Amino acid sequence: MRRHEPIAAALLAWRLFLAAALLAAPGAVWAQSPPAFTPREENPEEFPAGPGRDDTFYACTACHGFKLVAQQGMNRRQWEEILQLMNEKHGMAALEGKERETVLNYLEATFPPRTPAGGGWQNPFSNR
């Protein structure tokens, strides 16, 4: 299929470019790090600092982006319900003891309900 040759050539050129870029990067070792093209990947530093941030980030991003977590605003009881939901419905390993405290403390302090008490908006997770 001659018509596909330009595409194959472009792909080859791209691979060569990638290889050259990786080899040129100081300290780049094939086995060491995955290619640098992972723009969707999140990083704990993108989220508000606080005790337990990294633990929480890694506990939750095993399955989904942390933005899904950070866009919520809930009180501690509601966060507890979320942890339970992740555990029961989505198969998250139950957080226990100190780890659970750390995660809940961070979530409660960092992503509290956004409206003042008695405000109009009701969190959909609230079942009071």
Binding site for ligand HEC (CB under 6 A): 59-60, 62-64, 68-69, 72, 82-83, 86, 90-92, 103
Q: Which is nearer to ligand HEC, 22 or 70 (CB)?
A: 70
Nearer to ligand HEC, 92 or 109 (CB): 92
The upper half-sphere exposure of residue 58, i.e. CA atoms within 13 Å in the direction of its Cβ, equals 5
Minimum distance from residue 48 beta carbon to ligand HEC (Å)? 14
Q: Kindly state the smallest distance separating residue 127's Cβ from ligand HEC, in Å.
A: 13
